Structure 1
Amino acid sequence: MKIAFVANTCWNIYNFRKGLVHHFLSKGDEVIVLAPKDEYTDRIKSWGVKWLDTPLEGTSVNPFREFKYLLRIYSIFKSERPALALTYTIKPNIYSSLVSKWTPTKVICNVSGLGTIFLTTGLIGKLALILYRQAFKFSSYVFFQNSDDRELFTSKIKVESYKIGLIPGSGINLEQFKPLAFTQNTKTKFLMISRLIIEKGVREYAEAAKAFKDDKNVAFTLVGKFDTNHSRSIDEKELKQWITNGWIQYQPHSDNISNIIESHDVIVLPSYREGTPRTLLEGAAHARPLLASDVPGCREVVKNGYNGFLFEPLNSSSLINKMKLFLSLSIDEKKHLANNSRELVEKNFDEKLVVDAYEEAIHRIIKVS
C-alpha cells in the first residue's frame, strides 16, 4: 500500500512521525512525503521514503498561493495515487481533505492543538474555521490529541462520531528516550523547549527567570527557534534583552535534545493551549519533573503533585510560586516526581499506542488484502 504523509515541514515528519513512518516501511508499504524543503529533507529521504516538494507558507492568506498549494496536492494525489494520506497541521489537513473529494485517496487528519483557530480572532483563524467546515466533510477519519480539543472542535465543526479518534499525541519512543538519573545539583536548572511564539508562554517564562535573577542557585535555559515570519512571534529585541540581562541562557536549536534534558532538572511549559506537547513527553520519558500551565494538552501529561505541578496560564506569578514550591522539596521528593513522570509516559504515551490507533483506523476505512 502507498501511504502519503502531508505536513507543513519535513522537520515535523522527522521529529514527530519517525516511528509511524518506519512502522509502515517495516511492513513493506511505500511511503511518500509531501512537505516543503528544509534542513530535514535529506534526513527523511535517507529512511527510504520518496519526498515530493510541496511549498507552503504557514501564515499566508494569499488566494493565489493557497490555490497553488491545493493544486500541488491534487496533482501529486492524481499522479502518485496513494491509497491513504496521513495529514498534520492546519493547511495539510484542510487541503488534503478537500482534494480527497476528487481523488480516490482516503485522508486521516491529525488535529494537533487548536492554537491558531481558538487562541486568535484574526483573519487566519476565521478562515481556517470556514475551510475546516467544508474540508472535513470529505476526510475519512480525524484524530484529536486530547478530549478537550475534540469537544471544542466538534462544537464548532461537525464531524461524525464514527470518524473521530483520540491518540496520545505523537507518542514517545521509550527505547530512544530512556530514564536519566536525577541528581541533586548545586544549581537547579529549569528548561523550556519551544518555538518562540507568544502562545507558548515564552514571556511568562522570561518573567519567572527575571524574578530569580539574584538567586545564584537557579538557572533558566530556553531552547527553540526564533521565527521572524510568524505573526505571533515574540519581538527579537525582547529575546536579546532577556539574554543581555542574564535572565536566561538561549540556544536556538539542538539535534540532541536528550543531552540538554539530562543537564537540567525541570521541564517547563507555560503554553496557553496544546495538543499533546512533545517537549513534556520527552522530559517525562527521561524522568524529569514537569511544570506546565493548567490547560488542555498539558494537564494530560502533568498530574499536579504526582509528576510535577500545574499553574495558571498567562500568569507568571503562579508559575513563580510553583517553581518556589519545587525548590522547597527534598531530593527524595524530587526523585519521586521524576520517577512518576517516567511511569506516566510508559502507561499512557508509548509510541506503540499511536501506531496501533492508526492501524485500527486504517482497517476501518480501507480493506487491506
Structure 2
Amino acid sequence: MKLVIIGTVASSFFGFRADFIKALLEKNYTVYAFTSEYSNEDLQKIEALGAIPVTYRLNRGGINPLADIKATYELSKKIKDIAPNMVFSYFSKPVIFGTLAAKLARVPKITGMLEGLGYTFTEQPNQVNKKTQIIKKAQVLLYKIALPQLDKIIFLNPDDPRDLLDKYNIKVKKVEVLGGIGLNLTEYPYSNTYPSTPTFIFVARLLAEKGIHDYLAAAKIVKHNYPETKFIVLGTIDKEALGALTPAQLQEFTKQNIVEYPGHVDNVSEWIASSSVFVLPSYYREGVPRSTQEAMAMGRAVITTDVPGCRETVVDGINGFLIEKWNPRALAEKMTYFIENPKAIKEMGYESNKMAQEKFDAEKVNKRLLNILGL
C-alpha cells in the first residue's frame, strides 16, 4: 500500500509528523513525503524516518494563478507516477493544490487536514488591510473548488469548520475534528518542581497575532506591583511581519528589566521546566497551539485567550485561565492571581499534565488519525 503525504516545509515532516509516519510504516505502508521547501539535510532526515522524500514546486505565499495551475499539473504527474492508494495533504496550499492534483491523477482516496485557518482569517484589532482581504477572497474561492473533491476534511478544532465551511457555504463530503496533532510526551517530561520566584514564560514567534505586545504590556503592569516576578520571552523576531515586535521595542523592555530575552535557544523544554506558568495571549487562527501542549505536558498552568484553537487547551479555572483577546489588563489580573496563590501553580499544572495525557499524547492522536483516515 502506498500513501502520499503532501506538506510544504520539510522540517514539518520530522518535526511534527515523525510519530505519524512511524505508525504508518508499522502498518507496512510505503510513505512518500512531498515537500516544496527543503535542504539536502532535510531530505536526509525524512529518509532517516523511513519515508521517501519527493520534492515539488509550490509558491507557498504567492497568488499567481498561472504559476499555481502549472505547479498543480506537474504535481499531478508526480503523484500519477507513484499511483498511491491515498493522498493526504496538510496546510492550506497543499490541501488546495494537492487535492486538485490528486483528483487529476485519479487517486482513489483523497483527504486533507487544515491545522487552523491562518493569518487571512485572523480577526485584527484594527482594520484588515486590502491585500489581506483580496487574498482571503481568493483563498475562499479556491477552497470552494478544492474541498468538495475531498473524501474527508479534517480540522483540529470545532470552530474552524463553522467559520470556514458553514460561513462560506462550502459543501464537503465529510468533516472530522481531530483535536491537537499531539506530542511525543517522553520528550516533554512532567515536572512538579517550580521556581521560588513566580516566573511566566511566552514561547512563540514575536508577532502581534501571537500576543507578544499584550504579554509585554501585562508584564509591565505586574512588575509595577510585584517587582521580583520574572517574565521570559522565547521566540524569533520577524522583521517582515506587519505589527511584529521590533528589536528596538524588545531592547527597551529588557533594558528596563521587565523581561528576559535569551535570544535563540535549542532547549525550550528546559526553559519551560524552569518557569511557573505558560502564557500565550494569541488571537491568531491557531489549530491547537503546539507550544501550549508542550507546556501542559510538562505540568505548567496556562493563561491563554478565549479564541478558536487556544480555548481547546484550557478548562477555565481548572488548568489555567481563558482571557479576552487584546486585553493586557485581564492578563495581568490572572498573572497576579498566580503570584498571590502559589498553590494554584502546582494544582493547575497537575491538571494540565492530566489533560495533555488524555488529549495530546501522539500515540493516542495518531491512532485517532489512522482511524479517521481508514488506515
Q: Structure 1-normalised TM-score?
A: 0.89
AA in 2 matched with 1:90: S
Conservation of the 8 A alpha-carbon contact between 1:290 and 1:309: yes
Determine whether 1:295 maps to 2:307: yes
Q: Distance in 2 between matches of 1:245 and 1:53?
A: 47
- Note if contact 1:169-1:276 (Cα within 8 Å) is conserved in structure 2: yes
Q: Cα distance 1:130–1:284, how it changes in 2: closer, same or farther (>3 A)?
A: same
| Alpha-carbon contact 1:116-1:124 (below 8 Å) kept | no
Please show how residues 145-160 of structure 1 align to structure 2 within 5 Å: 145-158=156-169
Equivalence map 1:195-206=2 (5 Å): 195-206=205-216
Name the structure 2 match of 1:143: 154
Give 1:357's match in structure 2, choosing from 345, 368, 371: 368
Q: Quickly say closer, same or farther: Cα 1:50–1:327, change in 2 above 3 A.
A: same
What TM-score comes out, normalization by structure 2 length? Answer: 0.88
- Which residue is 2:125 aligned to? none
| Matches for 1:1-369 after TM superposition, within 5 Å | 1-35=1-35, 36-38=37-39, 40-105=42-107, 106-119=109-122, 121-158=132-169, 163-183=174-194, 185-213=195-223, 215-230=226-241, 233-251=244-262, 253-272=264-283, 273-331=285-343, 333-363=344-374
Number of residue pairs the alignment of both structures matches: 362
Q: Deviations over 1:294-349 (max 9, x none)?
A: 11211121111100111111111111111111111133x32110111111122223
In structure 2, relative to structure 1, the CA distance for the partners of 1:13 and 1:75 (3 Å cut) is same
Structure 1 residue identity aligned to 2:326 = L
Greater CA deviation, 248-257 or 341-350? 248-257
Q: Contact 1:226/1:252 (CA < 8 Å) preserved in 2?
A: no
The aligned amino acid for 2:2 is: K
Residue 243 of structure 1, CA deviation: 3.8
> In structure 1, the residue corresponding to 2:186 is in which secondary structure?
coil
Task: Supply the distance in 1 between the matched residues of 2:227 and 2:295 (Cα, whole angstroms).
Answer: 24
Partners in 1 of 2:34 and 2:162 — Cα distance?
29
Does the aligned pair in 2 maintain the 1:115–1:199 contact within 8 Å? Answer: no
User: Does the 8 Å contact 2:155/2:161 carry over to 1?
Assistant: yes
Q: CA 1:247 to 1:180, structure 2 compared with 1: closer, same or farther past 3 Å?
A: same
Distance 1:61 1:162 in 2: 27
Rounded Cα–Cα distance in structure 2 between residues aligned with 1:251 and 1:90: 33
Q: 5+ unaligned residues in a row in structure 2: which ranges?
A: 123-127
In structure 2, give the amino acid aligned to 1:113.
G
Q: Which amino acid aligns with 1:317?
A: R
* Contact 1:117 1:129 (C-alpha < 8 Å) held by counterparts: no
Instruction: After TM superposition, give the deviation of residue 233 of structure 1 in Å.
Output: 4.2
Unmatched tracts of structure 1, length 5 or more = none
Q: How big is the shift at 1:88? A: 1.6
Q: CA deviation at 1:122?
A: 2.4
Identical amino acids, percent of aligned pairs: 28
Q: Tell me the SS of whatever aligns to 1:250.
A: coil
Q: Distance in 2 between matches of 1:239 and 1:53?
A: 38
Counterparts in 2 of 1:43 and 1:249: CA distance versus 1, 3 Å: farther
Distance in 2 between the 1:232 and 1:25 partners? 43
Aligned residue for 1:360, secondary structure, equals helix
Report the Cα distance in structure 1 between the residues aligned to 2:245 and 2:65, rounded to whole angstroms: 27
| Counterpart residue identity of residue 23, structure 2 | H
CA distance in 1, matches of 2:363, 2:175: 19
Deviations 1:192-213, CA, capped at 9 Å, x for gaps = 1112322111211122233344
Which moves more between the two structures, 44-53 or 234-243? Answer: 234-243
Structure 1 residue 40, shift from structure 2 partner:
4.3
Q: Give the conservation status (yes or no) of the 8 Å contact 1:179–1:286.
A: yes
SS in 1 for 2:15: helix
1:190 is paired with a residue whose SS is: strand
Cα distance change on mapping 1:342 and 1:253 into 2, 3 Å: same
* CA distance in structure 2 between the partners assigned to 1:52 and 1:169 by the alignment: 26
SS at match of 2:317: coil
* One-letter code aligned to 2:49: W
1:59–1:230 Cα contact (<8 Å) kept: no
